Amino acid sequence: MPYAGNVSMTSERPLRHVAVLTLGCKLNLAESENWALELRRRGIAVSDRPVAADAYIINSCSVTHVADRKSRHLVRLARRLAPEATVVLTGCFAESAGPRASELGADLLVANAEKAAAVRRLLELRPTTPVVGASTAHRTRAFVKAQEGCNDVCAFCIVPRTRGRERSRAPAEVVREVCSREDEGYREVVITGTQLGAWGRDFLLPARPADLIRAVLEESTVPRVRFSSLQPQDIGDELLALWQDPRLCRHFHLALQSGCDATLRRMRRRYSIAQYAEALARIRVAVPDVAVTTDVMAGFPGESDAEFAESLAFCRQAGFAGMHVFPYSRRPGTTASLLPGHLPSLEVRARVALLLQEAERSARDFRGRFVGRMLPALWEQRVSRPNGRAAWEGLTDNYLRVRVETDADLGGRVTAVRLVRDEGDALLAVPVEAGAEVGGVPCAPRAVSRLSSPAASCW
Ligand code: SF4
């Protein structure tokens, strides 16, 4: 990737405030969080929204043409918000766009392979002046990268080209980062990667994701560990047995892409619908009340009405807790872009709408199962209620968004609540007992973290 741009007009001013803007996957989130922590440790204020700043690090995405458009937009927006600022562009769009990325006006392009050094590269260009009292927002969930790259060749996917071959971080390195996140006050870590199920495959002595999870559970005390995307072929008894540990969040993101075997074959996915259904069933048997979320694509080249109907029907019976629905997006350089049978965008949009309806229905079904139940939630942000009352919003370990009306400061804490009503976008809850917290209450974490049935109350 070319080194582009000059910073002569902006480099004199001390760097006090950086906006780290992130698009795309959890891996991008993990990297952006690392930069934010690195900058904060140097006393530099960090924002994760497009505001006026001294510099920007834009962590772009190229998974769809919409992601490309958003990446371009962020570079232009940063330039508009602060014409003198230093703009660093990295991520998959910068990687796949090549020379087009440097024409956008970024001052510095950083390749995916050099991403870890993005802050150092920025600081080489801009001096810093420590700022006292840099923000200490509630730290709830930290994304920790365990793996990067993918050796698979799904027909629609640009990621192997932008992220390269599979590379796993050593377990000790991952555990070290998890422990430092906990020391910084995070209550939950999300272990993430491009192809997490491939973690350890590239070691001299190959290892499996179960080995990594075991290491994190045994060598850290972080209250909640969430494992991000896996594929059906990664689901096995050894892995599932680890979910006996109440610190492991009962949430699996199992990308489906299509509910039709013929489409899966053309997508070059490495599982059949029967294998996917079996993995789903095994997860649900091993982990009660588990949330399974997924990614589904509509409009893959050659997807006939019958194939789409089959895909939709499978999603209906699968009963997902959440579905990310994507329209197929033609990516230059992918084999799918050369396939015949690309569908008119109107047809693709119609199919996306049907999948979104199903996503809404199955998510509502999943939420409805927990009304009346008691669950612990990690509180993330204060929200205001239509009735003017103070409230907090958070997430249960099984991926339910919940909110509770309280004047207490619940930021970054895990407390148990009773879920009383589905409000459509979240479940309204009431505190089980005012002030009772997992961290602070005398109840053993085991009892608290898996308080699912009303009968199991220890209050
Ligand atoms: S598994 Fe397929 S979709 Fe996922 S990153 Fe690899 S090539 Fe892309």
Atom of ligand 1 nearest to the CA of 257: 3
* Vertex 374: Cα angle to 370 and 379 (nearest 5): 95
What's phi and psi for 270, nearest 5 deg? Answer: -100, 35
Encode pLDDT of 409-458 as tens digits. Answer: 999 999 999 999 999 999 999 988 655 555 554 444 444 444 443 333 33
Q: Which has the closest alpha carbon to 459: 424, 422, 434?
A: 434
Pocket of ligand 1 (CB under 6 A): 150, 152-154, 157, 159-160, 194-195
C-alpha 69: how far from chain center: 20
**How far apart are the C-alpha atoms of 97 and 68, rounded to whole Å?**
9
Q: Which segments of the chain have a pLDDT < 70?
A: 1-12, 128-139, 433-459
State whether residue 73 is helix, strand or coil. Answer: helix
Q: Name which residue sits closest to atom 2 of ligand 1, judged by CA.
A: 154
pLDDT at 12: 64
Q: How far is the CA of 358 from the centre of ligand 1 (A)?
A: 24
**How far apart are the C-alpha atoms of 192 and 105, rounded to whole Å?**
31
Q: Which pair of tokens denotes residue 435? A: 């002030």
Give one DSSP letter per residue of 77-136, joined into a string.
HHHHH-TTSEEEEEEHHHHHHTHHHHTTT-SEEE-GGGGGGHHHHHHHHS-B---TT---
Q: Which pair of tokens denotes residue 1? A: 């990737």
Atom of ligand 1 nearest to the CA of 150: 6
State whether residue 251 is helix, strand or coil. Answer: strand
Q: How far is the CA of 160 from the centre of ligand 1 (A)?
A: 7
Q: Name which residue sits closest to atom 8 of ligand 1, judged by CA.
A: 157
- Cβ(429)–Cβ(404) under 8 Å? yes
- Cβ(5)–Cβ(108) under 8 Å? yes
Identify which of 195, 199, 257 to mutate to test ligand 1's pocket (most ligand atoms within 8 A of the CB): 195
Q: How far is the CA of 363 from the centre of ligand 1 (A)?
A: 25
What's phi and psi for 171, nearest 5 deg? Answer: -55, -40
Q: Which has the closest alpha carbon to 433: 387, 357, 376?
A: 376
Give one DSSP letter per residue of 33-82, joined into a string.
HHHHHHHHHTT-EEESSS---SEEEEEE--SSHHHHHHHHHHHHHHHHH-
pLDDT at 445: 44
Q: How far is the CA of 106 from the centre of ligand 1 (A)?
A: 28
Encode pLDDT of 1-51 as tens digits. Answer: 444 444 444 556 778 899 999 998 888 988 998 899 889 888 899 999 999
Q: How far is the CA of 135 from the centre of ligand 1 (A)?
A: 36
Alpha-helical (H) ranges within 164-208 are 171-183
Q: How far is the CA of 259 from the centre of ligand 1 (A)?
A: 17
Ranges assigned E (strand) in 133-195:
141-145, 147-148, 167-168, 188-192
Q: Structural domains in the chain?
A: 17-125 (3.40.50.2300), 141-368 (3.80.30.20), 374-442 (2.40.50)
Q: Within 10 Å of residue 381's Cβ, how many Cβ atoms? A: 14
Identify which of 64, 112, 194 to mutate to test ligand 1's pocket (most ligand atoms within 8 A of the CB): 194
Q: Name which residue sits closest to atom 1 of ligand 1, judged by CA.
A: 152
Q: How far is the CA of 109 from the centre of ligand 1 (A)?
A: 24
For the whole model, what pTM was predicted?
Answer: 0.84
pLDDT at 300: 98
Q: Which has the closest alpha carbon to 279: 313, 255, 311, 249?
A: 255
Q: How far is the CA of 153 from the centre of ligand 1 (A)?
A: 6
Atom of ligand 1 nearest to the CA of 268: 2
